[in-house]
């Protein structure tokens, strides 16, 4: 049976267009469009420990059905909180500490619903930020499924669900909870991010936008999960000891320079004419914040179908990372991060980067402003 990639080759058709300088954003397009991009729950990510794949497989990958995704996002809250000294973040914590939690721990950007939930004690469903251990968001072409693990009190959560008049339904051995929109509006601050949820087990909660999609998620668990995909596991191992991880299918020239691109740039604008990587399958960013929270250690992994392509692109990728510019603001990439190394191992091309002056790599990733990844 022919093996197919779990990620769509065509990825986000996002709009782009901000200027970067020293980690600051100066919009060159309407701010409302930028905000609409940035509040999309991003990201991926896979936590790593001394044996990262085993940890992820046990906690997350085995709880996400194996199907075609546009991207997969993962964050390890426990490791990031400890690294940054934010170990006791709760609803009752100061606003300053909670903002630090969102900007540093998850590394990518929460949806407004999640921010509402995690910052508001009134909107609590029986758990708060300190209860989260890991989070994964699997994005398809039409929707996202979110799976969180943590130290949850099932009884406390069910008590709150009953208080908000969630509907309960038994489905294939699982109890599904859904919140009618009218109930949510009457309650005010309750975020719709957790409007349809199910307990996968005592330490894992899954959410989907609709009860139908939640049922599809449950059905998917009966077949294969991400923990059975060898390519994903190999990429996770290559990224190594990070707190967050984002994996996506390849970026094509049509996506970045096409007529639907908000940045409205040509291939020549970013500084290196005729730049094209060999066709590849996936790329991934692994992020580990520095102890100060001001810089990030970044691992960029590009996964090719063959070893020769990875070797052929080594020097080209280094040139792109050191001499290219961001398309949105035409800021030289060398002002945003430094390149520590570029190496090849089999069919994997890897670059190690370090951000400068507080710049956050998630800004480039969220806007898909990644011309050095175009093939």
Binned at pLDDT 50, 70 and 90, residue 52 comes out as very low
Residue 126 belongs to some domain of the structure: yes
Residue 121 belongs to some domain of the structure: yes
pLDDT at 262: 67
The gap from C-alpha 221 to its chain's centroid, in whole angstroms, comes to: 21
Residue 202 belongs to some domain of the structure: yes
- Give the pLDDT mean for 322-335: 89
Question: How far is 348 from 301, CA to CA, in rounded Å?
Answer: 7
Residue 115 belongs to some domain of the structure: yes
Residue 153 belongs to some domain of the structure: yes
Question: How far is 187 from 120, CA to CA, in rounded Å?
Answer: 13
Residue 234 belongs to some domain of the structure: no
User: Structurally, how many domains does the chain consist of?
Assistant: 1
Burial class (CB in 10 A: 0-12, 13-18, 19+), 269: middle
Residue 221 belongs to some domain of the structure: yes
Q: Considering the entire predicted model, what is its pTM?
A: 0.76
Higher pLDDT, 279 or 27: 279
**Does residue 316 surpass a pLDDT of 60?**
yes
Residues of the chain above pLDDT 70, percent:
69
Please tell me the least confidently modeled range out of 36-50, 135-149, 353-367. Answer: 36-50
Please tell me the least confidently modeled range out of 38-47, 308-317, 341-350, 352-361. Answer: 38-47
- The angle at the Cα of 172, spanning 129 to 76, to the nearest 5 degrees, equals 25
The strand ranges marked E within 77-164 are: 132-139, 144-150
pLDDT at 285: 92
pLDDT at 308: 97
Residue 205 belongs to some domain of the structure: yes
β-strand partners of 345: 348
- Give the pLDDT mean for 186-215: 77
> Which tens digits make up the pLDDT trace of 83-111?
777 767 766 777 677 666 666 665 454 45
Q: If phi over 0 gives left and psi between -120 and 50 gives alpha, with beta otherwise, what is residue 263?
A: alpha
What's the domain range around 147? Answer: 39-227
> Which tens digits make up the pLDDT trace of 261-301?
767 788 888 888 789 999 999 999 988 876 655 678 899 99
Residues of the chain above pLDDT 90, percent:
21
Residue written as token pair 């809250």: 77
- Give the pLDDT mean for 222-247: 82
Cβ neighbours of residue 126 closer than 8 Å, sequence gap 6 or more: 152, 153, 156, 157, 158, 159, 160, 161
- The angle at the Cα of 369, spanning 365 to 371, to the nearest 5 degrees, equals 120
Please tell me the least confidently modeled range out of 5-14, 36-45, 83-92, 193-202. Answer: 36-45
Question: How far is 107 from 74, CA to CA, in rounded Å?
Answer: 10
């Amino acid at each position: 049976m022919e093996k197919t990639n779990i990620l769509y080759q065509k990825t986000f058709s996002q709009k782009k267009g901000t200027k970067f300088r020293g980690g600051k954003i100066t919009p060159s397009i309407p701010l409302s469009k930028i905000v609409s991009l940035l509040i999309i729950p991003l990201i991926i990510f896979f936590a790593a420990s001394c044996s990262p794949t085993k940890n992820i497989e046990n906690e997350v990958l085995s709880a996400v059905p194996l199907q075609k995704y546009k991207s997969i996002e993962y964050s390890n809250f426990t490791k990031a909180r400890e690294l940054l000294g934010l170990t006791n973040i709760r609803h009752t914590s100061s606003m300053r500490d909670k903002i630090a939690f969102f900007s540093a721990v998850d590394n990518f950007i929460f949806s407004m619903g999640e921010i509402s939930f995690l910052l508001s004690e009134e909107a609590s469903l029986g758990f708060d930020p300190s209860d989260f251990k890991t989070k994964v968001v699997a994005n398809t072409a039409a929707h996202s499924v979110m799976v969180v693990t943590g130290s949850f009190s099932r009884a406390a959560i069910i008590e709150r669900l009953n208080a908000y008049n969630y509907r309960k339904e038994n489905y294939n051995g699982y109890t599904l909870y859904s919140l009618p929109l009218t109930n949510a509006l009457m309650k005010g601050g309750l975020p719709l991010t957790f409007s349809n949820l199910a307990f996968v087990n005592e330490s894992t909660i899954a959410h989907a936008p609709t009860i139908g999609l939640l049922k599809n998620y449950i059905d998917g668990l009966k077949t294969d999960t991400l923990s059975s995909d060898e390519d994903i596991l190999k990429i996770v191992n290559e990224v190594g000891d990070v707190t967050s991880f984002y994996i996506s299918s390849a970026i094509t020239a049509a996506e970045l320079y096409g007529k639907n691109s908000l940045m409205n740039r040509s291939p020549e604008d970013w500084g290196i004419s005729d730049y094209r990587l060999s066709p590849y399958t996936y790329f991934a960013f692994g992020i580990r914040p520095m102890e100060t929270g001001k810089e990030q250690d970044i691992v960029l992994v590009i996964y090719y179908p063959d070893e020769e392509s990875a070797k052929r692109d080594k020097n080209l990728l280094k040139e792109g990372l050191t001499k290219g510019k961001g398309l949105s603001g035409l800021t030289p990439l060398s002002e945003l991060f430094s390149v520590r190394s570029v190496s090849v191992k089999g069919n994997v091309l890897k670059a190690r980067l370090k951000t400068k002056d507080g710049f956050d790599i998630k800004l480039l990733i969220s806007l898909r402003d990644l011309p050095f990844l175009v093939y």
